[in-house]
Structure 1
Amino acid sequence: MKSRIMLLWLAIATMACTQQTKVSKELKQSIQKNESFEYVKKRALEVVKTGFNAGDGYGEVWIRDYNTFIELSAEVYAQEELKENLRVFFRLQGDDGNIIDGFIPKEKAVDVDGGYTYIYNDLEPTYCGHKNTVETDHEASLIQAVYKYVQKTGDKAFLLEKIGDKSVIDRLEWSLEFLRNHRWSKEHGMIFGATTSDWGDVQHCHPWGVYITEDTKYCVDIYDNAMFLIAIDNLMDLDPSKSEKWQERRDQLAKNTMKHLWDEENQKFIPHVYLDGSPFPENFKENEIYYHGGTAIAIEAGLLSKDQIKTALEKMISNVKASGAGSIGLTMYPPYPEGYFENKGMYPYGYQNGGDWTWFGGRMIQQLVHYGFYQEAYENLLPMTDRVMQNKGFYEWYTVKNEPTGSGTFRGSAGVLYKAIEMLEDAVEK
């Protein structure tokens, strides 16, 4: 019986490949002739050679950024340098398992009233860290970064390396336990965080918005839980012996995420489900907002079917047209109204409130390639690569008028675009 099923599967797979070859053949010439792809890859390698901080406007190395360009860094740096960055995050790990947001040399850490509260540890002589406490993606980002490092280099021995009294693999698991112990909603069976915009790390209250305060409103959202799901998958792949403990937890989390956040009628994710009431006015219809970034990460976590992915892309393209933005990297549509976030940079279509971020748009392209939407991936990648050529750099984000802003050497953008192009080129070649 099994062999018959296998033969049927192979027949279907062969048919699908044959059909896709016709499309790929048509795409191949366009991809091979596209000048922006080679330019972007060459420029990305040049940018990543210059360091590990997020970009020219930042002094810190942040884990949520490093996670998205560590594979690109592996093209130009020795394994030891990549590992040393990862070790710093482990050396500065909290005594409850939490992972810092970023680190900076001790001599460059300046204590300013209202600024970062720096974190020190005897295990780390050179750097100190800080943690944006409104977010819950640092732990997941580190696991994903280690996974990518091991996949890229084959250096599985790193997982057994001792840092303090724990191995790397055990510290990874400890970080996931932190989320379950300190950021867990028993009511929803999901991790929670502060109210931010989609994947953003700025909460609605406080002029800066990176630390939990007495005014923080907690909620569950798609981005953080999808990142957690990917991290669990990566942990089990790195150490299959942990599957017995984590597979059931992973399956239940996926089920709960779709139960509480998926709006079946509107085929979208609900922005936030609040633990104790919304911080926004009662007449505000938050569910009219479509989160682009969180949806892309949910697709990466395997939460949506191919039909749902196609619908998601259609909605993203429609939102881009309605807003006038340059690409599907558009954070969300529509944005939150003026004044809904105290941070002055969070105006409508500003920063993480409707800004256009290649950093996440590129990850959506990767998923389109992964699921076989090659033509769609190509068409929606072009606006991102074209503007890199036009502006001669990897800018942090773009305004709704497609104007570049923020750091001009944003390594996260370089990393996701490089990978997206490589995935697309490999797919059509095969």
Structure 2
Amino acid sequence: MKMRSSLVCGLVLFASAGTAQVKHATDYASAEKKAKEYFPFVEEKALEVMKAGFNAGDGYREVWIRDYNTFIELAARVNKPEVLKENLLVFFRMQGDDGNIIDGFTPAEKIAKGETDFSYSKLEPRYAGHKNTVETDQETSLVQAVYKYIQLTGDKTILQEKIGDKSVAERLEYSMDFLMKNKFNSRYGLITGATTADWGDVQPEHGWGVDLDENTHPAIDIYDNAMFIVAMNNMMEMLPATRQKWTGIKSKVAANCRKYLWDKTKQKFIPHIYLKGSPFPAGFKENDIYYFGGTTVAIEAGLLSKQEVKLSLDEMVRRVKQAGAPSIGLTLYPPYPDGYFANKIMNPVYSYQNGGDWTWFGGRMIQQLIKYGYVKEAYEQILPMVKRVKDNNGFYEWYSVDNKPRGSGTFRGEAGVLYTAITMFEHLK
């Protein structure tokens, strides 16, 4: 890495420009030095955690596609390509007859008698599948994960792999067609899901809250649509023959995200467009809430300009300070009031997806800051994330507003996004 030598040159060049610029460079060096002190520990711990398996963490038995998509780069460091490939192929073998993709798979022998919320496939008898149907990111997560697999390994033959009567390439498009046929709203030109807290998979209406039912309030949000855009970009690069089909759709979805979801006045994305009313009380000002995760994925999808990326970061930092939270992994702010979600895990405020701090998404924002050239800011914002890995000797699913570890330990999603971010820092010139 050549960062340090270029920084010295920068200080010499800045000398005649005034002390403000010198201070900026010094701040950069300080932020870089503090963050990098934790990098070796985090990298070593991430590799250690990844060697233990592909399930999301010690609180989960499933291999989830939305998680695997965020730690496949880390997994590639400790597994042979055929292992990565096999995990991806399981999702295709368990694809629904309508093209939908499951959330995750579990060894069938681990399913207890009486558990019914699982699907099975003749093409993959070893596993039971599960899907939280309130979300609309399973199909797009699999497309992205296959794309990353090819980028990591150079193995394009996975696309020709035959699964039943279809190739993986055909099944990828089949999954995207499922979204167009079942989740696309023609009025807004955007895909839909249930009402959830930003990228979350818990709806407010009742019970556990992960399945679509008669109580669901269908809605449109930025996270689902940004994931869709990223997936379409990946599809067109992997399968050039599909470019004519998806180019126009992607352009329209991107334009409609800006038209209907971006609040120009507040310079933020609105939480939801409701298609059949809101589940929340009349008068509730939901647009006061800032969605951190959906904004991050929107940046990845190319929906914001470089200036808007910086404004978004500044707003995240401002709201983190208001909340007294530890990092920009904060899910959203302000949180939904206590009792707005029937599932108790979302209450009280700052709990789980209702204002918990998730490095799983915060780390992705770090990656985008690096890509957009905000390297100093990336070092500053990653510091509390890598520090708590060392402080807690591991990775946790989320953190409380006072920075206490919560949820599943050995959370591979956190390990994966931090590992990838650190790798990006190390490859800076």
TM > 0.5 fold call:
yes
Q: Deviations over 1:343-377 (max 9, x none)?
A: 00101100000000000000000000000000000
Q: 2:356 is matched with which residue?
A: 355
Aligned amino acid, residue 118 of structure 1: F
Q: 1:394 is matched with which residue?
A: 395
Question: Partners in 1 of 2:196 and 2:112 — Cα distance?
Answer: 26
Residue 26 to residue 405, structure 1, CA distance change in 2 (3 Å): closer
Question: Partners in 1 of 2:412 and 2:168 — Cα distance?
Answer: 25
Q: 2:82 is matched with which residue?
A: 80
Verify the 8 A CA contact 2:31 2:376 in the aligned structure 1: no
Q: How does 1:147-296 map to 2 (within 5 A)?
A: 147-296=147-296
Deviation at 1:31, TM superposition (A): 3.8
Question: Partners in 1 of 2:137 and 2:165 — Cα distance?
Answer: 24
Q: 2:44 is matched with which residue?
A: 42
Q: Deviations over 1:135-157 (max 9, x none)?
A: 10000000011011110000011
Verify the 8 A CA contact 1:116 1:130 in the aligned structure 2: no
SS at match of 2:345: coil
Question: Partners in 1 of 2:30 and 2:333 — Cα distance?
Answer: 34
Q: How does 1:300-311 map to 2 (within 5 A)?
A: 300-311=300-311
Structure 1: gaps spanning 5 or more residues: 1-17
Q: How does 1:48-197 map to 2 (within 5 A)?
A: 48-112=50-114, 117-197=117-197
User: Is 2:343 the partner of 1:327?
Assistant: no
Residue 29 to residue 328, structure 1, CA distance change in 2 (3 Å): closer
Question: Partners in 2 of 1:26 and 1:403 — Cα distance?
Answer: 28
Verify the 8 A CA contact 1:31 1:425 in the aligned structure 2: no
SS at match of 2:132: coil
SS at match of 1:406: strand
Q: Deviations over 1:383-424 (max 9, x none)?
A: 000000001010100000110011120000000000111112
Deviation at 1:125, TM superposition (A): 2.1
Residue 28 to residue 80, structure 1, CA distance change in 2 (3 Å): farther
Deviation at 1:425, TM superposition (A): 2.2
Q: Aligned-residue CA RMSD in angstroms?
A: 1.7
Aligned amino acid, residue 121 of structure 1: S
Question: Partners in 1 of 2:340 and 2:308 — Cα distance?
Answer: 30
TM-score, normalised via structure 2 length: 0.93
Verify the 8 A CA contact 2:31 2:379 in the aligned structure 1: no
The alignment-based identity, stated in percent, is 61
Aligned amino acid, residue 54 of structure 1: A
Verify the 8 A CA contact 2:31 2:380 in the aligned structure 1: no
Deviation at 1:181, TM superposition (A): 0.3
Deviation at 1:28, TM superposition (A): 6.4
TM-score, normalised via structure 1 length: 0.92
Question: Partners in 1 of 2:322 and 2:30 — Cα distance?
Answer: 31
Question: Partners in 1 of 2:10 and 2:166 — Cα distance?
Answer: 50
Verify the 8 A CA contact 1:141 1:227 in the aligned structure 2: yes
